[in-house]
């Protein structure tokens, strides 16, 4: 059984469990760092979209319906073109 790292095949014998665990931990930390970099731009985009949606009567109506939140209200309003 091989482990794929960096696009190349590494034989199981070449990486012991401790090294593999460290590499996996590093990969997870790097992925989290990349995800956190996107948080602020995504929040700005969401705020801009919600600000525009708030001007749509259909969104306002749907948002007041019980069990329909921001995301579903926005989705329905935009998909129906209202």
Q: pLDDT (tens digit, 0 to 9) for every residue of the chain, 82 residues total?
A: 455 455 555 555 566 677 888 889 999 999 999 999 999 999 999 899 889 888 888 888 998 998 888 889 988 988 888 6
CA dihedral 71→74→80→81, nearest 10 degrees, is -150
The domain total for the chain is 1
Asked if 70 and 56 touch (Cβ cutoff 8 Å), the reply is no
pLDDT at 5: 54
pTM of the predicted model over 0.75: no
| Residue 43, domain extent | 2-80
Rounded CA separation 4/34 (Å): 21
């Amino acid at each position: 059984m091989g482990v794929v790292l960096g696009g190349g095949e590494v034989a199981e014998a070449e990486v012991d469990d401790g090294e593999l665990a460290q590499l996996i931990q590093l990969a997870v930390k790097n992925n989290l760092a990349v995800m956190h970099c996107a948080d602020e731009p995504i929040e700005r985009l969401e705020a801009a979209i919600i600000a525009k949606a708030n001007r749509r009567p259909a969104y306002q109506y749907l948002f007041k319906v019980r069990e329909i939140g921001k995301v579903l209200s926005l989705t329905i309003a935009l998909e129906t073109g209202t």
